[in-house]
Amino acid sequence: MIRSEILKDIAPILRDQLVVCNIGLPSQELHMIDDQPTNFYMLGTMGLSSSIGFGLALAQDKKVISIDGDGSVLTNFGTLPTIANNVADNYILLIIDNGSYGSTGDQPTYAGKKTSLTEVARACGCENVVEVAAKDTGKALQAALDGDQMTIIVSKCESGNIKVPVITMDPVVIRDRFMKSVQA
């Protein structure tokens, strides 16, 4: 399975949740598969999906899912100790780990080589880290939503991309409708 297939698979689970989605193809794919006002699409700022979602989880009580990638987590490694040391049980970090920088042409990341993000997250102090095969992502995500414990899911999948249109929605519109969903 590639990332877009995972997103298609978990879209019905994501639909009613607050989702912060990673820059580039992940946001474009989610937008194409199932655009929702509860989705915050990152149009720039690689690496900060986990931080934005985590800040949101700390500020209010609804559950928050950050969809991140292995390359983006590598860009913002400092996020994992922050998450581990300020536990928010309404927070789920879903790292779709395809071992490559998908949006820029599938160059390999170190997560696809020797570095295990699952072990890094545990070493940073994250207490509930699960690594799953791509096909089990939905099950793991639903279990995390059903539980009341902060969860880091590392979903191992194949690299590969589909053709998707860019998001042309104005960023302030994305942000405004997302904030209204948070408050609803």
Least CB distance to another protein at residue 91 (A): 10
Rounded (5°) CA angle 105-108-111:
135
In this structure, what DSSP letter does residue 149 have?
A: S
What is the Cα 56 distance to its own chain's centre?
14
Number of C-beta neighbours around residue 44 at 10 A: 8
CB of 136 to another protein, least distance (A): 28
Per-residue x/- track, 34-73, another protein (CB under 8 A): ------x-xxxx-xx-xxxxxxxxxxx---x---------
Q: Site mask, another protein, residues 12-31, x = CB under 8 A? A: --------x-----------
Task: Report in angstroms how near the CB of residue 37 gets to another protein at its nearest.
Answer: 12
Site string for another protein, 73-112 (x = CB under 8 A): ---x-xx-xx---x--------------------------
125 binds another protein (CB under 8 A): no
Cβ neighbors of 127 (< 8 A, separation 6 or more) are: 84, 87, 149, 150
Q: How far is the CB of 138 from another protein (least distance, A)?
A: 25
Q: How far apart are CA 170 and CA 122, in angstroms?
A: 37
User: What residues are paired with 94 via a beta bridge?
Assistant: 67, 153
Segment (H or E) for 153 = strand 151-156
Contact positions vs another protein (CB under 8 A): 20, 40, 42-45, 47-48, 50-60, 64, 76, 78-79, 81-82, 86, 171-172, 174-175, 178-179, 182-183
